[in-house]
Amino acid sequence: MRYGMLLPHFGEHFSRDRIIDGAQMLEDLGFDSLWVRDHLLWKPHGMEGDNRTFIEAFVTLAAAAGVTKRIGLGTGVVIPIRWPLKVAHDFASLSRLAGREVEAGFGMGSNSVELGAAGFNRDDRKGIFAETVEICRRVWAEDDVSFHGEHFSFDGVTIEPKPIGQPMTWYGGTTRGSVRRAVAHCDGWLPGRLPMATLDNRLALLRELNEREGRTVRAGVIPLTAVDEDPAVARANVDIAAVAGSSEGAASWIKPPSGEFRTIEDLEGLLVSGTPEDCVRQIKAFEERGVETYIFDLRLQFDRFEEKAEMIARDVLPHLRSALPVATAG
């Protein structure tokens, strides 16, 4: 299992130092990768406050790349607010500037205003996604590429330099349809956060489709993570209702036995929280299900980002990366 961290490049707690110094810190602490979100006209979820600060995804990763040498760089995920050749060029430029391979996460976006402002029709987003991934894969590997699709068309295109390696592609989404799109078009499925029962349902479909199609599409997750030596402090800022409705796909989630998301326990899978030992046990539950990439999302604790990242590196990652037993509460 690999362990990444979502950078605090959005909301009221963004700062230049949190990106520049934070990227260096995360590399020094031994995290495997850094990740960013993508928006043009960002509308925060209820759990994120109302500050609309959002630093562009590729700019953020380029800044992080300039002060690091090893740590991976990924998008979780790029939405249809750029033309495909621009997307391909951005990833290739990032890879060469960073001097390492990058991970290219793609999605369809959920805000029709946002997509429209970028010149795209939300109703076309499925086709735009599929053509974007195909175009990127081709121009990353070939010269003089011609493409004639339903949405995009060009002849004899070469983009240089090519990225280092062939970027791993992810599809981000939480529905069963998102699993099908991941298997049809990408190397991995990156749903963000899902209730554990819903994740189990989607992973079963992923295994079924991988077997049927002869593929090995991987799975990653980006749950909210809130950690503290005092579990009550870790969970103090968790708005259960807001977390339970914080995704476009929430209407299709499998409900807990009570029928509603009412307790912290009902948020299993959406939220990893509590003491470091609690978090280790909860993250291991993803590993046991075959999830290969876990990305820590500390947005509920961005005001203490550095402190919490250090706590995770010191008290969580060593237990995840070894066979050491974890202490049981009580």
**In angstroms, what is the C-alpha Rg of the chain?**
19
* 279: in domain: yes
Residue 72 exposed, middle or buried by CB count within 10 Å (0-12, 13-18, 19+) = buried
- Tokens for 98, please give them: 């960073």
Residues 137/162, Cβ–Cβ less than 8 Å? no
* HEC assignment per residue over 193-245: CCCHHHHHHHHHHHHHHHHHHCCCCEEEECCEEEECCCHHHHCCCCCHHHHHC
What's the rounded mean pLDDT across residues 135-156?
A: 98
What is residue 278's DSSP assignment?
Answer: H
The amino acid at residue 124 is: D
Q: Which of 254, 234, 235, 257 is nearest to 244 (CA)?
A: 254
What's the rounded mean pLDDT across residues 64-91?
A: 98
Range of the domain at 223: 2-320
What whole-number distance in Å separates Cα of residue 39 and Cα of residue 53?
A: 11
pTM: 0.95
C-alpha separations of 304 from 150, 206, 226, 299 in Å:
47, 36, 11, 10
The pLDDT tens digits for 34-69 are: 999 999 999 898 788 899 999 999 999 999 999 999
What's the rounded mean pLDDT across residues 115-138?
A: 95
The pLDDT tens digits for 307-327 are: 999 999 999 999 999 865 555
* 328: in domain: no
3 state SS of 121: coil
Residue 73's CATH number: 3.20.20.30
What's the rounded mean pLDDT across residues 86-90?
A: 98
* 329: in domain: no
Q: Residue 246: its pLDDT value, please? A: 83
The pLDDT tens digits for 183-211 are: 999 999 999 899 999 999 999 999 999 99
* 215: in domain: yes
Q: Residue 70: its pLDDT value, please? A: 98
* 325: in domain: no
What's the rounded mean pLDDT across residues 143-163?
A: 98
Examine the pLDDT at 29 and tell me if it is beyond 60.
Answer: yes
* 330: in domain: no
Averaged pLDDT of the chain: 95
The pLDDT tens digits for 264-312 are: 999 999 999 999 999 999 999 999 999 999 999 999 999 999 999 999 9
Specify the number of domains making up the chain: 1
What's the rounded mean pLDDT across residues 103-122?
A: 92
Q: Residue 329: its pLDDT value, please? A: 45
Angle at 50 (CA atoms; ends 47, 52), nearest 5 degrees: 115
* 126: in domain: yes
Q: Residue 326: its pLDDT value, please? A: 53
Q: Residue 91: its pLDDT value, please? A: 98
* 327: in domain: no
String of DSSP letters for 140-184:
HH-SSEEEE-SS-EEEEE--SSPPSS--EEEE--SSHHHHHHHHH
Q: Lowest mean pLDDT: which of 3-17, 37-51, 130-144?
A: 37-51
